[in-house]
Chains A and B, each alone.
Chain A
Amino acid sequence: MSHATATHSADHYFVPEPSKYPIFGSIALLLFGSGAALWLNKVPAGKWMFFLGVAILVYMLFGWFGQVVRESEGGKYGHRVDKSFRWSMGWFIFSEVMFFAAFFGALFYARVLSVPWLSSGDNATLLWQGFTGAWPTAGPYAADPFTPMGAWGIPAINTLILLTSGATLTWAHYGLLKGNRGQLKLGLFVTVLLGAIFLSLQVYEYMHAYADLNLRLDSGIYGSTFFLLTGFHGMHVTVGAIMLTVMLFRASAGHFRPDSHFGFEAAAWYWHFVDVVWLMLFVVVYWL
């Protein structure tokens, strides 16, 4: 946008030139969605469409974010674009909060309302012999007993790990603000490492649930809420860890200045968000 740079002024707002990346993203999600639907219905081609979609999506994300990073480092984003990024990241995280709210709401509704109702009055005897409606439950049709996941083993350790990672990330941020690049890189590295340990322990916990506790995705409403809440959280930790890894690479490449580093801050906000979601999970899914 040559004429735009010519009229550069204090209140000029950077408007990017036409971009090929969005349409790649659309093709990717078309393949992703149709491929997933076909795959789930046992059509062999679906799997390949799905993976092709994922591959195109990865290409698109690399290209698009790469371009954003180059524009940012090239000084094209002024103060107002920075403000736009802040607003948008905040509201994006709010939309993620609402996504989790749907699943927390489902857990609340099942525990507090529908399961007690199922076992109240005549329902208990009419519905299923011996159904008490106590939580955790696999439902009235509980042919296959399971052991619920305790709070004070791996989940408590994981809580500690995530809380520590929030602190190391803030330490890295202080390093960036003070211009101490070593502290920035070390802090980011430790945070990503803690995230990876958290995820490994989650994987171990899932294996333990399936192998030893007979707690599975199809273990009634308890299994459904347990695996979907912790699973979606784990996916978000993965995304957050990838974001922080990118920030680590960018920090190593000399990006970010003490007064201008919103990419880092956005990743940090996201990391703190998954941290808070975990605390909620720990209290209402594992502990209470």
Chain B
Amino acid sequence: MAAVTPDQLHGHHGPTGLMRWLTTTNHKDIGTMYMIFSFIMFLSGGVLALTIRAELFQPGLQVVQPEFFNQLTTMHGLIMVFGAIMPAFVGFANWMIPLMIGASDMAFARMNNWSFWLLPPAAILLIGSFFVPGGATAAGWTLYAPLSVQMGMGMDLAIFAIHIMGISSIMGAINIVVTVLNMRAPGMTLMKMPLFCWTWLITAYLLIAVMPVLAGAVTMILTDRHFGTSFFNAAGGGDPVMYQHIFWFFGHPEVYIMILPAFGIVSQIIPTFARKPLFGYASMVYATASIAILSFAVWAHHMFATGMPAAGQLFFMYATMLIAVPTGVKVFNWVATMWRGSLTFETPMLWATGFIFVFTMGGFTGLICAIAPIDIQVQDTYYVVAHFHYVLVAGSLFALFAGAYYWLPKWTGHMPNESLGKLHFWCSMVFFNITFFPMHFLGLAGMPRRIPDYALQFADFNALASVGAFGFGLSQLIFIVVVVKCIRGGERAAARSWESAEGLEWTVPSPAPHHTFEEAPVVR
């Protein structure tokens, strides 16, 4: 294997140029495309976020009109969830799972290509909807009825975009399940598997279970809009709250779909830089599975303010608080892994420890939101916005950056620039907190979300948050510089790029050759 250079393996069969990328069946090519696509979507969603923050810099209307503001918040959410975070994790899965379990490729290499290439059409439909009469959908990323039943053509485009992204996700998830269950190298038992593969296996099950439910929900919206059905129309015996139930039956597992692979990435990085095996491996696996199972029984905590019976409120409140137990197991295991380790703080470790710190804060505000009487106060305020950005930006996104810095040597063959990486981390960490920490206060003081204008009393914290947001946005440009420099050159990476990194991915050369593990390694 080591005698064959990557150049010999690249393109010695199959098309070259653009056609290589359109037709590829190689998991590394496809993983790379997923990551580039998701970063482009991340920047697009970021531009929308910065436009929102520009409008909210001062009270009153300065930059955009209210109806366009609603489109911005809606599309920011949809693009970040379905365009940036989810595809980025699938990209990691594509690149790393075959390398980690000693497989020659994903189980269904052609379908893998289609899973990726469905995303650009979906993005075209979604972003193109800004330019149709009436503009993009403005119903919020949750697409609640009756708003979503009343919108213009942009809503239909969003529905079809969601259908296409759903097909992509289901195919991708089935591919990952089959790859993990059927492609492991001899001796790689399930309980020897790196935790990233475990978290993705469980995430893939969540995707297979809930993406079809979202497809059903938006299909009902489509038929309510155009074919006269009354699913969400009370005049016909339907109920708009029913949409919320169906949506959040998808939506709550969905938030774990966006965080479980992040847990997996962090669980790979902490042991490497603590130079100790992961503390409580088995309990990590069970905790991940527990979180996934519980996620199907908590959806109505998003709906406490809709007037459900007290028994329902209590059930969903306690079920939600129960999730803190397995999540706490994870946080304590990460801390215990670091305890008395020989810690060093290279860029990936900085992001991973930063993740633990800031994600846990988001977890705590989640617990607060779970308490039904408190939730009724903070529902639809900036407190909720602060909460889910702490778990989605400081959680999922920080873990993605941690993973990117950790595996860039394996992808490019060069070590990422440490100084720039650390600068990227500290800028992101500081500006993230400047942006989102004040939102807790704004929310508790009663500032509603998804509103382009606000009372004067909220002005100072909003100005601060806007400054932080622009700082955070600009900090991400550092990452582009790091990645471009890393691809072009820099310190050569060894096969085992980090001193005490464990796992099969570090046994192949850096950069990983086009084809790896065509003869399965034996794991003892």
Q: Is B153 a contact partner of A26 (Cβ separation < 8 A)?
A: no
Q: Which of A1, A98, A114, A216 touches B242 (beta carbons < 8 Å)?
A: A114
* B178 in the interface (beta carbon within 8 A): yes
Give the contacting residue for B241; candidates A25, A34, A114; CB below 8 A.
A114
A145 at the interface (CB under 8 A from B): no
Classify chain A: how many residues form its interface, as a range. Answer: 35 or more
Q: Which residues of A contact B227 (CB under 8 A)?
A: 217-218
**Nearest neighbor of B205 in chain A, beta-carbon distance:** A91
B242 touches A26 (CB 8 A): no
**Contact A4 B117, beta carbon cutoff 8 Å:** no
Q: How far is A108 from B220 in the complex, measured between Cα atoms in Å?
A: 15
Cβ A106 vs Cβ B220 within 8 A = yes
Proximity bits, A125-149, B CB within 8 Å = 1, else 0:
0000000000001111100000000
Measured CA separation A31–B225 after assembly (Å):
21
Tell whether, in the assembled complex, residue B220 and residue A22 are in contact, meaning their CB atoms are under 8 Å apart. no
Taking CB atoms, residues of chain B closer than 8 Å to A30 are 121, 124-125, 164
Given A9-B519, A23-B22, A37-B153, check contact A224 B212 (CB 8 Å). Answer: no
Which of A7, A41, A220, A221 lies in contact with B156, CB distance below 8 A?
A41
Taken together as a complex, chains A and B put the C-alpha atoms of A84 and B103 apart, in Å, by: 13
Question: Which listed residue, B23, B107, B229, B236, touches A88 by the CB 8 Å rule?
Answer: B107
| Interface of chain A residues 175 through 203 with chain B (CB within 8 A) | none
Given A25-B114, A41-B156; A139-B104 close (CB under 8 Å): no
Total of A-B residue pairs, C-beta within 8 Å: 231
Q: Is there a chain B Cβ closer than 8 Å to A223's Cβ?
A: yes
Q: Which residues of the partner chain B approach A4 to less than 8 Å between Cβ atoms? A: 518
* A19 CB contact (under 8 Å) in B25, B156, B220, B518: B25
Interface residues contributed by chain B, number (CB under 8 Å): 82
B125: min CB distance to chain A, Å? 5
B108 touches A84 (CB 8 A): yes
Question: Interface with A: B12-20, B377-385, B448-456, which one?
Answer: B12-20
Q: Please state if A118 and B109 are interface contacts (CB–CB under 8 Å).
A: no
A13 touches B231 (CB 8 A): no
The answer to whether B231 and A224 touch across the interface, beta carbons within 8 angstroms, is yes
Are B212's CB and A96's CB within 8 A?
yes
- B260 close to A (CB within 8 Å): no
* CB-CB nearest in chain B for A136: B237
CB proximity of A54 to chain B, nearest CB, Å? 14
CA distance A139 to B229 in the complex (A): 11
Asked if A83 lies at the interface with its beta carbon under 8 angstroms from chain B, I say yes
Other-chain residue from B23, B160, B181, B182 in contact with A34 (beta carbon distance below 8 A): B160
B16-59 near A? 1/0 per residue, CB < 8 Å: 00011011110000000000000000000000000000000000
Taking the closest CB of chain B, its distance from the CB of A263, in whole angstroms, is 15
| B167 nearest in chain A by CB position | A29
Known contacts A87-B182, A98-B212, A139-B230: A222-B108 contact under CB 8 Å: no
Q: B157: CB under 8 A from chain A?
A: yes
B212 touches A102 (CB 8 A): yes
B328: Cβ under 8 A from any A Cβ: no
B440 at interface by CB-CB < 8 Å? no
Q: How near does chain A come to B222, taking the closest CB pair, in angstroms?
A: 8
Residue A15 contacts which of B104, B213, B220, B234 (CB distance < 8 angstroms)?
B104
Interface status of A252 (Cβ within 8 A of chain B): no
CB-contact partner of B13 in A1, A36, A101, A216, under 8 A: A1
B60 within 8 Å of A (CB atoms): no
Interface string of A52-96 (1 = CB under 8 A from B): 000000000000100000000000000010011001100110111
Which residue, of B103, B152, B216, has the highest number of chain A Cβ atoms within 10 A?
Answer: B216
Query: Using a CB-CB cutoff of 8 Å, which residues 262-280 of chain A contact chain B?
Result: none
Residue A40 lies at the interface, judged by CB distance under 8 Å to chain B: yes
Q: Is the CB of A118 within 8 A of B234?
A: yes
A98→B213 contact, CB < 8 A: yes
The answer to whether A33 and B157 touch (CB under 8 A), given A16-B109, A17-B13, A114-B242, is yes
Centre residue among B103, B231, B520 by max chain A CB count within 10 A? B231
Give Cα A96–Cα B111 distance, bound, in whole angstroms: 18
Decide yes or no whether B113 CB sits under 8 A from chain A.
yes
A110 within 8 A of B: yes
Of chain B, the residue at the smallest CB distance from A97 is B212
11 A–B contacts from the bound complex (CB under 8 Å):
A4-B518, A33-B160, A34-B124, A64-B110, A83-B182, A95-B212, A137-B237, A141-B235, A220-B237, A224-B224, A228-B220
- Residues of B participating in the A interface, judged by any CB pair closer than 8 Å: 13-15, 19-20, 22-25, 103-105, 107-111, 113-114, 117-118, 120-122, 124-125, 128, 152-153, 156-157, 159-161, 163-164, 167, 170, 173-175, 177-178, 181-183, 186, 208-213, 215-217, 219-220, 223-231, 233-239, 241-242, 245-246, 249, 518-520
Query: A18-B19, A99-B212 given. 6 additional CB < 8 A pairs?
Result: A12-B518, A27-B121, A91-B208, A103-B216, A105-B245, A217-B228
Which A residues are within 8 Å of any B CB, using their own CB?
1-2, 4, 7, 9, 11-13, 15-23, 25-27, 29-30, 32-34, 36-38, 40-41, 64, 80, 83-84, 87-88, 91-92, 94-96, 98-103, 105-106, 109-110, 113-115, 118, 137-141, 216-218, 220-225, 227-228
